[in-house]
Chains A and B, each alone.
Chain A
Amino acid sequence: MPPFLKNLFAGLRSLLRKQGADREMEEELRSYIESAAEAKMRAGMTREAALRAARIEMGSAEAVKEEIRDAGWERAIESLWQDVRYGARMLRKSPGFTIVIILTLALGIGANCAIFSIVNWLILRPLPISQPKQMTFLAFARGGSTFDNQFSSSELLSIREQSKGVFSAVSGLAFGGSLGGYSGPDGLTVDGTTSPVTAVYVTGNFFSTLGIRPYLGRLLLPSETVDAGADPVVVLSYRYWQTRFRGDPSIVGKQAAINGHSVTIVGIGPRDFLGITPIIDMQAYLPLGMAPIAERIRPDLLGDPKARILCVLARVGSHTSMGQVQAAVAVIGERLAKQFPRPREETRLMARPLRPPGFLNGGDPLPVLSALFLTLAALVLLLAGVNVVNLLLVRASVRGREMAVRAALGAGRGRLVRQLLAESLLLAAGGGIGGFGFGLLAAQTLRSIPLYTDVPLAFDLPFDWRVFAYTFGVALVAGLLVGIVPALRATRSDPTQVLHEGGRGSTGSRERLRGVLVAAQICGALALLSTAGLFIRSLESMRHADLGFDPSHVLNLTVDPNQIGYTQAQGQAFFRTLLDRVRTMPGVVSASLVRNVPLGDDSFAAQITVPGYNPPPGQPFSSVQYNVVSPDYFRTMGMRLLRGRDFTDADNASVSSMAVINQAMAARFWPGGNPLGRTFALANNSARSFTIVGVVNNSRTDAIFGSFQPVFFQPLAQHYSPVMTLQIRSAVRPEAMAGSLVRLIEDLAPSMPVFGIRTMAETLESPNGLLVFELGAEIVASLGLLGLILAVVGVYGVVSYAASQRTREIGIRMAFGARPPEIFRMMYRRTGWVLVAGMCVGLALSSALARLSAGFLVGVKPLDPLTFVTVTAVMALVAMAACYVPARQAMRIDPMEALRHE
């Protein structure tokens, strides 16, 4: 047996049979003493005297045994266990102290746990596919960090052909709904009920490229590809199957319909798989060949090299480096650009890693946001930790005697430090468990926030092993950090001195340390509060921003006749009847239809040309937003018609195309002039020319911040869109109208799904509205509040402890004639400097954090003077108040009492 193994076994044996080993040791030592005594008796001593002498010579049998035990490695573990047990005993002895510390740590650790679970959800979790690091998507780089990731079917084939050397598989996918120029969910009919579903159309090798297996049934096959309508099958996502069908396995094999077209449900995707992003559930997967049929688009669309509707996913071969990939892909890109010219000059084709949260076009703000939030959470933990250090220090000075006694009895300093560290690690373990609980609670609260969107956002913040490991890693580090300083301090002093002086050693360095702790708390709390202030100010500025419409008393309901297979004529007829019927309902002030609800899930843009307008060089077309509305839309939304007229029921397909534009569009293309009667045309179809019949005020479209974009509105009767939102302005509470409206729609079209039922005020809180800003502000404000509380408690604790330590000094001073105000000043002078120092460092830290937050603030400058002045003032007041109570108590001390103290 190798020596180390033998050593290991011997150690394990002695750990397991500790008592046996102990007894043997004892026996051996006794036999030693007896041998020694015999020798002494031979030299003429009496037996008693000899035994006594031998024992004295040997010293404490326990000490010898300790030393013997120290020889083996098992000793280390055993003493660790002892430390832990002893520590637990000490903590049980003062339950109040223990609970306060564990709670404080739990709050700090919980904040970190919750924030980390968000970061983990957003960007850290890899996709649940095989070898996620090999997955890439292809895109032409554009200016800045934007790119173009849309390819035509022919381009996909060409890429697949040319990239065999570097990619092991190349597949394509197209998002449903958007294919025909519309966006929005598709309709899945099962057993006569139609519900919205977010569908993607994929090449047959999509699932094999990702390397995933079905939960039930089968996934799509490589043979199921592009032939129009050849493979009427659909695979549902696990999540959709669970929510809609409650995991009913008989769903597999069932006949269903997508947008009214018959398909068979062949399988359910794997459990955690949400598609190519971990945050949005792609609910149904169909072969690409089903797209022209189900989405009602021209059947030759997939063959048209100009129709770029596909995202291209590629798996890097296992022995290929990213360098080789990029070189090969760049060459392919050049060839593609020659073979299939694009309207815009594209630069280099690149393979980008398919990392969560998926393909974000433009700069990715998430790493910065994550860093910011994690920093703030770390600051909260710092504040909690400082409080705990302070408590432990107070206790360490109380326990100075205990430590001194143990040191005098022969415990080494290392052993004592280890003992105290074991205690703080126990506390941290408790804090870790509590923190995990707080984290779960916080995540639960976040999850329950209503999202007000029809996009299947998977806002589930899963608590996987990463969150677990992070939380307990944080707890471990916190335990070591808060434990080490008090442990070193408690064991530093000379035992004889402590035992003689009753714990009153030199206080200079202790005072200094306390100052540093208070300054650190002020600094951390200031940084947290100022960041919270900025986020809140930013949210407020958006809340009070001019929307350009009146969101109160408006209810939205969305319908999509396409989901039940209505033709355009049927759809138009349905919308006309719907409006007629709704307008006669009691309580309805005004009713209209709109394609894209402001701040809702979608917004459209079009390239236009305007006669007489000279576009800037290099941009032959101008991009503007557009929307499709019925008559009365501006009235329902409370917008103002500035010139011309609204659409009427007479503005239908039989008259020439017309548009109402907003002020921003009028100012951009007809500055100073009258746009009424002027025309503009679509860039890709110059035959589609619009005559302007009205101008309305500017209003919010796809974002709640930024400058108003140019927008034109076209009448629904001239431009059919199946996905329309019915909007009611009501005299009563708009929510109260929902029931009768849904019944009315059911009456008109029994199987028509109605979704997106929410008030306009709720829509403002949607992901494209205030949601992200509100979430951000809420999270940062909670952290700030937590930080403030911890800092107040901490500062109060430190100062009042310092005051209690100085009771005697204060008593003497007062006995010598110091007046209370002088004592008061003295107490404040000490802490005053510490506060000022903490504030200065805190302001520096705040401005660094403000720079980090700059990208997430709207309507407020990162170094907003109001925020900084207010927060500094609040902090100063709070700190002074925290000092006031202990200082007052010190002032009131009766000199005789103080001197008699101790």
Chain B
Amino acid sequence: MSDERAAILKGTLDMLILKVVALGPSHGYAISQRIQQISKDYFHLQEGSLYPALYRLENRGLLEAEWRATDTGREAKFYKLTKKGRKRLETEMESWERMTEAVALILRTAE
């Protein structure tokens, strides 16, 4: 895994997690797997950054967690989006889209 791939833009990790959790409550491993799958193996999320982010988001009241059984019957901590989290996700996505458009615009014009 190269450094280039591993690096998730600072500040976007929270948004990615929120987005993935928005698809349905899931636990830590599932979140990291889904990010990996959806990004077609571009992002490899390390636990060392995943869990601090999850705890941070939970502390800020954007996520809430409960212990539940997984499909395979084991106990895991499932994260779910709160109302506040959903709102935050919307605003972050909006501003992300505006930013990428703006970046793309500049890159195109500069050609």
Give the interface of A toward B (CB within 8 A): 3, 6-7, 10-11, 24-25, 27-29, 31-32, 34-36, 38-39, 58-59, 63-64, 67-68, 70-72
Contact = CB atoms under 8 A, between A and B. Distances in A.
B48 A59 contact: yes
B86 interface: no
B47 A29 contact: yes
A11 B47 CA distance: 22
Interface in B12-71: 27-30, 33, 47-49, 51-53, 55-56, 59-61, 70
Contact of B74 (A7, A24, A31, A58): A31
B51 A38 contact: no
A71 B56 contact: yes
Contact of B55 (A31, A32, A35, A68): A68
Given A31-B74, A72-B59, 17 more contacts: A3-B60, A3-B61, A6-B60, A6-B61, A7-B60, A24-B77, A27-B75, A29-B51, A31-B75, A39-B33, A59-B47, A63-B48, A64-B47, A67-B52, A68-B51, A68-B55, A71-B55
A35 B30 CA distance: 8
Given A35-B27, A38-B72, A67 B61 contact: no
B93 interface: no
A63 B52 CA distance: 11
Most buried by A among B28, B30, B47, B52: B47
14 contacts: A6-B61, A7-B59, A24-B77, A28-B51, A28-B77, A29-B47, A31-B28, A32-B28, A34-B74, A35-B28, A35-B29, A39-B29, A64-B47, A68-B51
B73 to A, nearest CB: 11
Contacts of A68: 51-52, 55
A196 B59 CA distance: 73
Contacts of B51: 25, 28-29, 64, 67-68
B86 to A, nearest CB: 16
A54 to B, nearest CB: 9
Nearest to B70: A35
Nearest to B30: A35
A36 B29 contact: yes
Q: Nearest 8 pairs between A and B by C-beta?
A: A35-B29, A71-B52, A31-B76, A68-B51, A32-B29, A71-B56, A28-B77, A58-B47
B56 A31 contact: no
A261 to B, nearest CB: 79
Interface string B62-100: 000000001010111100000000000000000000000
B84 to A, nearest CB: 9
Nearest to A4: B60
Contacts of A11: 59
B59 A28 contact: no
A32 B47 contact: yes
A70 B48 CA distance: 11
Contacts of B77: 24, 27-28, 31
B65 to A, nearest CB: 9
A36 B59 CA distance: 25
A67 B27 CA distance: 19
B26 to A, nearest CB: 10
A866 to B, nearest CB: 69
B14 to A, nearest CB: 12
Contacts of B33: 39
A70 to B, nearest CB: 7
A199 to B, nearest CB: 69
A31 B29 contact: yes
A71 B49 CA distance: 10
Most buried by B among A7, A25, A67: A67
Interface residues of B, number: 22
Contacts of B28: 28, 31-32, 35
Most buried by B among A31, A34, A36, A38: A31
Contacts of B47: 29, 32, 58-59, 64
Contacts of A6: 59-61
Most buried by A among B59, B60, B76: B59
A550 B40 CA distance: 107
B37 to A, nearest CB: 11
Nearest to A57: B47
A31 B52 CA distance: 16
A320 B3 CA distance: 69
Contacts of B29: 31-32, 35-36, 39
Nearest to A61: B47
Nearest to A34: B74
Contacts of B55: 68, 71-72
B77 to A, nearest CB: 5
Contacts of B61: 3, 6
Contacts of A27: 75, 77
A59 to B, nearest CB: 7
Given A3-B60, A6-B61, A38-B72, A31 B48 contact: no
A63 B46 CA distance: 12
Most buried by B among A24, A64, A72: A64
Contact of A64 (B48, B60, B70, B76): B48
Nearest to A31: B76
A63 B72 CA distance: 28
A11 to B, nearest CB: 8
Contacts of B49: 67
Contact of B76 (A10, A35, A39, A71): A35
B72 A31 contact: no
Contacts of A38: 72
Contacts of A35: 27-30, 70, 74, 76
Contacts of A25: 51
Contacts of B76: 28, 31-32, 35
Contacts of B48: 59, 63-64, 67
Nearest to B33: A39
Given A32-B28, A67-B51, A10 B75 contact: no
Contacts of A10: 59
Nearest to B76: A31
Contacts of B70: 31, 35
A10 B70 CA distance: 27
A328 B76 CA distance: 81
A31 B59 contact: no
A864 B76 CA distance: 84
A36 B46 CA distance: 12
A72 B49 CA distance: 14
Nearest to B52: A71
Nearest to A60: B48
A28 B29 CA distance: 10
A458 B55 CA distance: 62
B108 to A, nearest CB: 38
Contacts of B30: 35
A67 B29 CA distance: 17
A64 B32 CA distance: 15
A28 B74 CA distance: 11
A7 B60 CA distance: 7
A7 B74 CA distance: 30
A36 B77 CA distance: 14
A72 B52 CA distance: 9
Contacts of A70: 52
Nearest to A38: B72
Nearest to A24: B77
A28 B47 CA distance: 11
Nearest to A72: B59
B109 to A, nearest CB: 40
Nearest to B77: A28
Contacts of B27: 31-32, 35
A25 to B, nearest CB: 8
A370 B49 CA distance: 57
A10 B33 CA distance: 28
B29 to A, nearest CB: 4
A39 B71 CA distance: 13
Contacts of A34: 74
Contacts of B72: 38
A67 B55 CA distance: 10
